[in-house]
Amino acid sequence: MDFPILSLLTFLPLVGVLFILLIRGDKQTVARNARRTALFVSSFVFIISLYMLYFFDETSAEFQFVEKVEWLSGLNISYHMGVDGISLFFVMLATFLTPICIIASWHAIKKRVKEYMIAFLVLETFMIGTFCALDAVLFYVFFEGVLLPMFIIIGVWGGPRRVYSAFKFFLYTLFGSVLMLVALLALYLHAGTSDIPTLMENPVVRDMQMWLWLAFFASFAVKMPMWPVHTWLPDAHVEAPTAGSVILAGVLLKMGGYGFLRFSIPMFPEATEFFTPLVMWLSVIAIIYTSLVALVQEDMKKLIAYSSVAHMGYVTLGIFTATTQGVEGGIFQMISHGIISAGLFLCVGVVYDRLHTREMSRYGGLVKNMPKYATIFMILMLGSVGLPGTSGFVGEFLTLLGAYQADTVIAALATTGVILGATYMLVLYRRVVFGEQKNKDAAAMPDVDKREFAIFIPLVLMVVWLGVAPSFVMDRVSPSVQNLLVNYNAALGREMPEVKIIKVSKAAYKAHHNTSVKEAH
C-alpha cells in the first residue's frame, strides 16, 4: 500500500482533539459533544486498523506499510514507521480498547469531561506510535509520551490517593526511561544511525551489549512491570478510574514486553543469552510471589493488579526462553491478558459505580440479582485462570512449553502459578458472586444495562474466539518470530532449523495449505 495508513492511525486521534478543543456551549453540551467526538474518532481509528489487518501479508516476516521520511537528515534520524507480525496485534489492541474505555467512561466521568476525552485521544496517539515506530528516537518520543496523559488521567480523575499514585507511576517509569535514553544515545553514537531495522541487523560488540542491555532492561522491566520494580502498579490501578486501569493493564504494560522483542533480543543477543537465567528466575519469583500476595487481598482491583504482575511473569519467561513456542506464547499471552484484564477491571467498575466500594466483603450473592453480570464475570475469570477453550490457556500453555524446553526446574516452578492463579480468581468470584447476600445495598443493585452489555460482548467474544481459533493470531505472528529467532541464533553462532519465509499471495497460500496439510502431517 502506498497510502500512509500508519500515520493516519497514529495522528487521527489528534484531529479529534482539535475538534474537541473547538467545542463551545454550556457544560452539558460540551460534555455530550466531547464524548461523542471521542467515540466517533476512536471507533473510526479502529475501523482503519481492521483495514490494515485485512491487507497485512501473513506469510511475510518483513515490516509492512512502511513509511520513511527524512526527519533530521543531518543526524541520520528519520520518521520511519512500519509493522510486522510482532507489533501488528499490539496496534490492534490499542485501537480496540480505546473506544471501549470511552464508552465505559460515559457516565462515570462527570467532571472535566472535555479534558478527559482529550487525554484519552492523546494517549491513543502515543500508544499506536510506540508500536509503529521504526526509528529509535521516534520510538522514545512515543514511548515516553504515554506517561503524560496517563499521569493526568490518574492524577485528576483517580481516587483519594490519586496524586501519590500518579507521581509514583511517573517517577518509577521515568527513572528507567532515562537510563534507556542514555543507552539510545550510546547506541546512536556507536552505529551512526537510529534506524531500528539497521540496528537489529548489526549488533554491537559484546562488552557494549552488556551495559546497553541493562539500561534497556531497567526501562522495560519497570514498564511490564517485573518483580521487584512492580510496586507502582497496584497503587496506580487502585487509584486510576476504571478506564485508566483498563488501558494501563491492556496496553501500557505490553510496551515492556514489546521492547524486549524489538530491542533487547535482536540488538543485544550475547547479553540476552548471558542475562537469561536472571530474567527467568525473576519471572518465576514474580509469578509465585505476586500470586500469593493476590490471595490475601480484600480489594478487588488490587487483586487483579497483582494478577497482572504474575501474568506478565509468564510473558518474560516465554520471551527469554528464545524458543518458538515460548516467544509466540509470550506474545499471545500479552494479547490475551490485554483483553481479559480489561474485562476484569470493567467488571470491578460496574459494581463500584453502583456501590462505591471495591471490598469483596461488601458483596456476595450477586448471581441472584445480577445473573448477566455473573455470567460475563465467569467467562473472563475462567479466561484468566487459563481454562482450555479460552485465550488464557493458549498463552500459558505455549509459554510453559517453551520454558520446559529451556529449563525443567523453571517450568515446574512456573506451573505452580497456574494453580495459585486459579485459587485467587476462584476465591474472588465465589466471594463476590456466590454466597449469602448480607448487604442489602448489594442485593438491590441492578444488572448490567445495555451500554455495559455492549462493552462486555466484544471482550467476551474475543476471549472465546482466540481460545478456540488461536491460529488467527499465530499465522501472522509466526513468520516474524521465526525471523527473530533465526537471526538471534545466527548472532550466537548456533544452528537452527532453517526457516524459509516465502512471500506469496494470500490466495496461493491458502490454496497450497488446503491441498498439502494432510501430506505435511
Q: What is the Cα–Cα distance from 400 to 115, expressed in whole angstroms?
A: 43
Query: What is the predicted pLDDT for the residue at 332?
Result: 92
Contact between 23 and 30 under an 8 Å Cβ cutoff? The reply is yes
Residue type, 165: S
The pLDDT-based confidence of 520 (bands split at 50, 70, 90) is very low
**SS3 state of residue 65:** strand
Burial of 195-222, coded b for 16+ CB within 10 Å and e otherwise, reads bbbbbbeebbeeebbeebbebbbbbbbb
Q: What is the Cα–Cα distance from 332 to 326, expressed in whole angstroms?
A: 10
Q: What is the Cα–Cα distance from 22 to 262, expressed in whole angstroms?
A: 39
For 99-115, the pLDDT digits (tens) are: 999 998 888 888 888 89
Poorest-confidence range of 34-48, 197-211, 324-338, 423-437? 197-211
β partners of residue 193: none
Grid coordinates representing 467 are 481460545
pLDDT mean across residues, the chain: 86
For 165-174, the pLDDT digits (tens) are: 888 888 888 8
Distance of CA 174 to the CA centre of its chain: 19
**SS3 state of residue 69:** strand
Whether the pLDDT of residue 48 is over 90: the answer is: yes
Q: What is the Cα–Cα distance from 123 to 98, expressed in whole angstroms?
A: 9
Q: Write the DSSP string, 429-474.
A: HHHHHSS----HHHHTPPPP-HHHHHHHHHHHHHHHHHHH-THHHH
Cell 444495562 belongs to residue: 449
Helices 27-55 and 113-132, interaxial angle, to 10°? 20
Whether the pLDDT of residue 496 is over 70: the answer is: no
The pLDDT-based confidence of 6 (bands split at 50, 70, 90) is very high
H or E segment at 78?
Answer: strand 77-83
The pTM assigned to this predicted structure is 0.87
Grid coordinates representing 278 are 536472571
**SS3 state of residue 358:** coil
Helices 206-223 and 162-191, interaxial angle, to 10°? 160
Average pLDDT over residues 461-475: 91
Whether the pLDDT of residue 289 is over 80: the answer is: yes
Query: What is the predicted pLDDT for the residue at 495?
Result: 62
Average pLDDT over residues 80-101: 92
Residues 235, 232, 269: CA angle, nearest 5 degrees: 150
Contact between 128 and 94 under an 8 Å Cβ cutoff? The reply is yes
Residue type, 120: F
Cell 485508566 belongs to residue: 244
Cell 505435511 belongs to residue: 520
The pLDDT-based confidence of 1 (bands split at 50, 70, 90) is low
Using CA of residue 213, residue 219, residue 220, residue 221, what is the dihedral sign?
Answer: positive
For the chain, the straight-line distance linking the first and the last C-alpha, in angstroms and rounded, comes to: 35
Query: What is the predicted pLDDT for the residue at 192?
Result: 81
For 388-422, the pLDDT digits (tens) are: 889 989 988 999 998 888 888 998 999 998 899 99
SS3 of 204-233: the string is: CCHHHHHHHHHHHHHHHHHHCCCCCCCCHH
Q: Write the DSSP string, 79-122.
A: EEEEE-HHHHHHHHHHHHHHHHHHHHTTTT--SSHHHHHHHHHH
